[in-house]
Structure 1
Amino acid sequence: MNRPKTPSRRTQTKPDWRLVIPLPMLEAGLLLAWSSGFIGARFSLDYAPVWLVVFWRCVLVSLVLFPFVIKPLLQTPRTVLLKNAGIGLLAMAGYLAGITQGIALGVPAGLAALFADLLPMGLALLTAGVLGQRLAWPVWVGLVIGLIGVALVTQGALAWGNAPIWAYSLPLLGMLSLAVATLWQKSLAPSQRMGLLPNLWLQCAVSGLAFAMAQGAQGSLAPIPGTGFALSVLWTAGLSTIGGYGLYWLCLRRTTATRVTSLLYLSPPITMLWAWAMFDEPLSWQLAVGMATSGIGIWMVVRTEARDALPSHNPATSPPGKSA
């Protein structure tokens, strides 16, 4: 009689690489990739209009990702596509449009960057004021200290320009657009969430349409022949979009929105280090002091949220065989 074959080894499922990579490594990559966007924007200003570069970076990302996402996109319900498309418009088109258009109207780049760096505070205010979620007082203190560090770093770049008064609200609105998109993304039910690459493709596709209309109203959508324009698009598409936004959404799936956005307080000093390495811009003592100050604030936020995330001692959750 033939005995049924018994597998000698248990079937092992392949671990999810997103959970295998330590969160601090993902956050370090996020800081580098997010900061690269400001460097890419500065580099591209010498070769093409801002709207043209962001349009083609969206086109390039959409073309590269399309073969990998077409199947899951066809299997996604229409309502899920619409919700994630709305998040993409706020997170990418709204954020980039507010900051770049403000600079184009005369808002100094340093001041626009400072408004963009208010994201952790804006998110915390929306969380507390709109959603009614309480944040521990050390988190608020950490956010304020981190903001002071950002102000120290960007102090030398802050100045009032000749832009219309209303133009100064555009970078602030761009920051709030990303904050709303972040909260919307975090509040989605698991059944309403898309995979990382399909979601990124959808965001680039809808944002590309928005940037096409903005650039089309001012000039041609044709790419500008030349190495400078090509490098600008490649840099911002690869590092800033796939790297920056991809790691941003990935980190949000692993931890809280407050922790992820507070890390972006380190984006200004890292951006200045990029500028020093690439454009030979001088460094100052304010950079080191501001970076250290922001680091203290971020440490307070991360430490408090990690402590609050620890499960409370509950007899019902005690391991079998151990009394409470």
Structure 2
Amino acid sequence: MNPRDSALAALVASLWGFNFVVIDWGMDGVDPLLFAALRFSAVLVPAIFFIRRPDLPWRTILGVGAFMSLGQFGFLYAAMDAGLPPGLAALVLQAQVIFTVLIAAGVIREAPTRGQLAGVVIGTLGLVVVGLGRGGEVTLLAMALCLLGALSWGVGNVVSRASGATGSGLALTVWSALVVPVPLVALALVLGGPGVLGESAASFGWPAALSTLYTAVLASLVGYGIFNTLLSRNPSAAVVPWVLLAPVVAMLAAWLLLGQRPTPGEAGGGAVMILGVLVALRPARRPAPHPETVSRRVVAPTR
């Protein structure tokens, strides 16, 4: 990528990394499912009135919304509400790369390369180290909820991949948000009772409002808009690895702003996990041409 595109990729990764700290800061006292519903309501309106629906079947749009947005962020917000720190949440969510490779192999018969399989093994070992080395305040429930979010994101990636979707990723982000707010509100009412609406409204102050604006406008609309523009003019292998900066930004921001210092197990396991993701994302080498083929090209007869 050229220097301008590299700078834009770094900007997106920074927006997405800081996003985890902003969620944690704004969600205090607000039900996590209602908070996620509010985010995607802001993604949906007013953008849906200005962005045309992507040229895709409704089953694809709703499938991407159900898994990539509803499932991923519903579980993520619940995990952070259960005590998962922002930096660790950003890191564990990168398990979506591992899940994507495995699900794509099983569902759409997209056979993984040896490098992808090696990356899955390394990344899984890193997750195990993170789980064993997590701080005492991080429960297994919080970790499991975040892993379910990563799994949902991986399913959404495969749904999008299987559809052959092309064009504006921003349009798909906006229109797929149609399926998010109502189920999240309904689930919040089922789990928290009718009083959850009043309690969340009473706790909703300016931090929650600013957090919602950041996550909806900067993280979702601006972030995905830039990211998909970069994908449209650069190879995926040159763009996607930049996402790995997000957990680094999240951990640094949580450390500096919230005093949440990662444990040695979290930091070491995170480094192993990111290594595994990098290995999985590394493009496969093209086989070298056979010597006879090369010689035929060089001494091809002339007429």
User: Fold-level match, TM-score > 0.5?
Assistant: yes
Structure 1 counterpart of 2:211, one-letter code: S
Q: How does 1:213-292 map to 2 (within 5 A)?
A: 213-217=186-190, 218=192, 219-220=196-197, 226-246=205-225, 255=235, 260=240, 264=243, 266-282=245-261
| CA apart distance, 1:220 | 2.3
Residue 208 (structure 1) aligns with: 181
Between structure 1 and structure 2, the one with the greater Rg is 1
Alignment pair present for 1:94 and 2:71? yes
Residue 14 (structure 1) aligns with: none
Structure 1 residues 94 and 156, CA gap change in structure 2 (3 angstroms): closer
Structure 2 counterpart of 1:157, one-letter code: G
Structure 1 counterpart of 2:162, one-letter code: S
| CA apart distance, 1:185 | 0.8
User: RMSD value over aligned CA atoms?
Assistant: 4.3
Runs of 5+ in structure 2 lacking a partner?
A: none
Structure 2 counterpart of 1:195, one-letter code: S
Alignment pair present for 1:176 and 2:158? no
1:235-294 deviations in Å (ceiling 9; x for gaps): 22123322455456556665559x83x665554333111112322444677677566545
SS at 2:279's partner residue?
helix
SS at 1:132's partner residue?
coil
1:147-193 deviations in Å (ceiling 9; x for gaps): 55566677343666385xxx875443322221111011122235xx4
Alignment pair present for 1:126 and 2:103? yes
Which of the residues 30, 38, 54 maps onto 1:48?
30
Give the whole-Å Cα distance in 1 for the aligned partners of 2:248 and 2:128. Answer: 11
SS at 1:118's partner residue?
helix
SS at 2:283's partner residue?
helix
Give the whole-Å Cα distance in 1 for the aligned partners of 2:6 and 2:73. Answer: 26
- Indicate if the aligned counterparts of 1:263 and 1:298 stay in contact, CA closer than 8 A: no
Give the whole-Å Cα distance in 2 for the aligned partners of 1:294 and 1:168. Answer: 15
SS at 1:117's partner residue?
helix
1:3-51 deviations in Å (ceiling 9; x for gaps): xxxxxxxxxxxxxxxx988765554344323323321221123252222
- Indicate if the aligned counterparts of 2:16 and 2:246 stay in contact, CA closer than 8 A: yes
SS at 2:45's partner residue?
helix
Runs of 5+ in structure 1 lacking a partner?
A: 1-18
Structure 1 residues 150 and 176, CA gap change in structure 2 (3 angstroms): closer
Which of the residues 24, 28, 31 maps onto 2:10?
28
Between the aligned residues of both structures, percent identity stands at 22
- Indicate if the aligned counterparts of 1:265 and 1:294 stay in contact, CA closer than 8 A: no
| CA apart distance, 1:131 | 2.8
Structure 1 residues 138 and 194, CA gap change in structure 2 (3 angstroms): closer
Alignment pair present for 1:84 and 2:74? no
| CA apart distance, 1:305 | 0.7
- Indicate if the aligned counterparts of 2:17 and 2:90 stay in contact, CA closer than 8 A: no
- Indicate if the aligned counterparts of 1:61 and 1:204 stay in contact, CA closer than 8 A: yes
Deviates more, 1:201-210 or 1:286-295: 286-295
- Indicate if the aligned counterparts of 2:91 and 2:270 stay in contact, CA closer than 8 A: no
Give the whole-Å Cα distance in 1 for the aligned partners of 2:152 and 2:255. Answer: 30
| CA apart distance, 1:139 | 2.8
Deviates more, 1:246-255 or 1:119-128: 246-255
Aligned residue-pair number:
289
- Indicate if the aligned counterparts of 1:107 and 1:161 stay in contact, CA closer than 8 A: yes
Give the whole-Å Cα distance in 2 for the aligned partners of 1:215 and 1:80. Answer: 29
Structure 1 residues 228 and 128, CA gap change in structure 2 (3 angstroms): same
| CA apart distance, 1:307 | 3.0
Superposition TM-score, scaled by structure 1 size:
0.68
Superposition TM-score, scaled by structure 2 size:
0.72
